[in-house]
Amino acid sequence: MLLTGPEGLKALTTAYETNRALPGFVAYNLETVQGIAAAAEAHPGHPVLIQAGSSPFKHAGRAPLMRLALDMAAASPATLGVHLDHSRDLDEITACLEAGYTSVMIDGSHLPFGENIALTREAVRRARDHGAWVEAELGALPGDEDVSTNAAANPAAMTDPAQAAEFVAETGVDALAVAVGNVHGLTTEPVRLDLDRLSAIHSATRVPLVLHGASGLPGNQLRAALTRGVAKINVNAELRRAYLRAVSARLPAALPGSDVVSVWAAGRDAVTEAACRIIAQLT
C-alpha cells in the first residue's frame, strides 16, 4: 500500500511521539526496491520509506526508478511511502510530487543560511499543493552518500540549535535532518553522536528530526537518538554492503552457467535481511 502524503506525515508524527523512527532505505534498482518491500512485508504495521532519490536517479534514470518504486509500493501489502532523498532541484521535486511521492527532501545544506531558508520555503509551498510532507537539512554531513568513507564530523559544521529553531519557524518544514556527529557511509571508527546537541535541537525545534548516516550506528547510540526527537533514520551503506557481499559470494558458482538470476536473487535477499535487522531495532 502506497502511503499518501497525509498518511505518511501521520506515520512520521506517530513515530516522533512514541520514540520510534521510520526507516528510510535507499534503493538503486529493481532488486533493492524488491528487497526493501519484502522487509516491510515481514514487519506488518511498521511503515517503511523507499528512498528513490537524486543520487540513485543518476544510475537508473529518474522516470524508471521513480515508477518502479511507486508501483512496488502500491502493489505491496506492506505500508510503504516513497521518498525523494537529497534533492537540490525544485524541478525534480515537482516531478516527484506530481508522480505521487509521499514526501520529499530539499537539501539546501550547502547554501548560506538565508538561501537555504528561501529554497526550503519554496519546496514546502510546492509540496503543500500535492499533500506531501517535506524534510530539509541544516548543517554539513561529511562523507559520500554512495561510497563508504573515513570522514570524521567537523564540529563547526554541526547543526546549531538556535539556527535550527529559526529555520523551522521560517520554512514550516515537517522534518529536519541534522548533523550531530553522524557521517554518510560506513566508517572505520565507530560514530559517536553529540547527544547533548541533539537534545538541544529537539527542545528548540519540536519537529521530527532525521538522522542520515545511520548505517553501522551502535545500538546504544541509535536508542538514545530515538529519545531525543529522531523519528526517521536513513540507511544506505548497510544495504549496499549486504548486497555486494551476497553477489560476490554467489558469483563463483554462477559464472560457469552465466546464472545472473541467482546472483540478483542473492543480492535482493541480502538487502531484505539487512533491512529487517534495522526495522527490528526501531520497533
Tell me whether residue 255 is in a domain. Answer: no
Tell me whether residue 50 is in a domain. Answer: yes
Number of domains in the chain: 1
* pLDDT tens-digit map of 8-30: 999 999 999 999 999 999 999 99
What CATH code is carried by the domain that includes residue 228?
A: 3.20.20.70
Supply the mean pLDDT for the chain.
92
What letter would DSSP give residue 26? E
Q: Which of 71, 85, 146, 174 is catalytic?
A: 85
- HSE-up of residue 86 (Cα within 13 Å, Cβ side): 24
* pLDDT tens-digit map of 65-85: 999 999 999 999 999 999 999
Tell me whether residue 260 is in a domain. Answer: no
* CA–CA distance, 258 with 236 (Å, rounded to integer): 28
List, as one string, the DSSP characters of 225-242. HHTTTEEEEEE-HHHHHH
Tell me whether residue 259 is in a domain. Answer: no
* 269 included as an active-site residue: no
* CA–CA distance, 173 with 283 (Å, rounded to integer): 25
What letter would DSSP give residue 157? G
Domain that holds residue 169: 5-236
pLDDT number for residue 146: 46
Tell me whether residue 277 is in a domain. Answer: no
Tell me whether residue 130 is in a domain. Answer: yes
Tell me whether residue 95 is in a domain. Answer: yes
* CA–CA distance, 103 with 134 (Å, rounded to integer): 6
* CA–CA distance, 217 with 87 (Å, rounded to integer): 24
Q: Answer for the pair 83, 49: CB distance below 8 angstroms, yes or no.
A: yes
* CA–CA distance, 93 with 54 (Å, rounded to integer): 10
Q: At what angle do helices 113-130 and 161-171 cross, to 10 degrees?
A: 40
Tell me whether residue 129 is in a domain. Answer: yes
